[in-house]
Structure 1
């Protein structure tokens, strides 16, 4: 299945934060002290100071940006279900790139979605090993949403997926895994639990999303 591969996306940690030093003020005399002298001050040669060059600002790296939560997810019907499914796929890609799987975990019913747990584990593994992932972009098309399932209260979101080739490499550039591009059909079962949308299951017609 390509969803699994697609969710791995670009790995590696990220943001370098440039610290700035604090400003210092001129020293002031201690309370109660004076600077009286009995002799006239002698003139001194003015000191010449070399012009100082301002250091060039160091470039900063920014990490991947998490996908914005779609406003349509505020809807608790079919519109929200579709938006939730698309958002979940975007989160799988983001978590692989950033190593931040918190939003993905928060949206997953781990007791029912074993595929989701596998995607999370893969993303975290790529991050912990310092791998770099290129490619693996996912596209969902022909999206349809079923009627609300009465027993579970959830919706089945069905779509065609297409994912490009993805390469997982060591930091030095050596490829450790290459996945060919793939396409097929996917079903993402989502439910609104009263607070937000959660994913109950994710399956594909190829049976490899596990």
Structure 2
């Protein structure tokens, strides 16, 4: 049985924060679960982790994202989710923040985790995701949102501190999520990543 990626992501953040706090006398930089401001007006992204030595390549922005219809919405949803392990490994969150609506709690939680890893100089490994579109719904006329159900197959991931101690690990997992995406100022933004409602 799969579980929603948003729930697992929040659980991963909480677990990682507990592990990281236990390994340091200083409290973690993101002690509050409240979302942080995202978007183009947010503060500059932290520098990449100095303990990371492997070259990490950002996922390529698909040309389909130039479409302002359902094909563009699908491409943008997949691209955004593929950015997740990249921001964890590099601390380069500019694209993630640009695509995150300020009200998106999932977006803010993952951003907090990436910043915490970068600030501590920890290393994130693994976590690469394969995204499959399960269903794309019609655009909601009132909100302009396209709900898109996806399946995410994610490889094993670990967080290692500066002393090469593994402070968090997660086994390979397959989850499902509903990505809510819309157009804002001629670009795609993620409004939320809630559970897929039970039928």
TM-score for the superposition, normalised by structure 1: 0.67
How far 1:2 moved relative to its partner?
4.0
- Give the aligned partner of residue 172 of structure 1: 163
2:98 to 102, 106, 113: 106
- Give the aligned partner of residue 160 of structure 1: 151
What are the ranges of 5 or more consecutive residues in structure 2 without an aligned counterpart?
17-46
Question: Is 1:116 the equivalent of 2:107?
Answer: yes
Higher helix share: 2
Question: Is 1:13 the equivalent of 2:4?
Answer: no
1:203 aligns to what SS in structure 2?
coil
1:126 to 117, 132, 141: 117
What is the number of equivalent residue pairs in this alignment? Answer: 158
Comparing 164-173 and 80-89, the one that deviates more: 164-173
Distance change >3 Å, CA 205–CA 77, structure 1 → 2: closer
What are the ranges of 5 or more consecutive residues in structure 1 without an aligned counterpart?
15-60
- Give the aligned partner of residue 37 of structure 1: none
Is this contact kept in 2: 1:141–1:160, CA < 8 A? Answer: yes
1:186 aligns to what SS in structure 2?
strand
- Give the aligned partner of residue 65 of structure 1: 57
- Give the aligned partner of residue 68 of structure 2: 76
Distance change >3 Å, CA 205–CA 143, structure 1 → 2: closer
- Give the aligned partner of residue 26 of structure 1: none
Is this contact kept in 2: 1:13–1:63, CA < 8 A? Answer: no
Q: How does 1:13-92 map to 2 (within 5 A)?
A: 13=49, 63-92=55-84
Comparing 61-70 and 169-178, the one that deviates more: 61-70
Q: Deviations over 1:90-139 (max 9, x none)?
A: 2222111110111111111122x101100000011111111111221211
2 CA distance for matches of 1:12 and 1:172?
17
TM-score for the superposition, normalised by structure 2: 0.70
Distance change >3 Å, CA 205–CA 151, structure 1 → 2: closer
Determine which structure has more spread, i.e. the larger CA radius of gyration: 1
CA RMSD of aligned residues (A): 2.8
2:183 to 192, 197, 208: 192
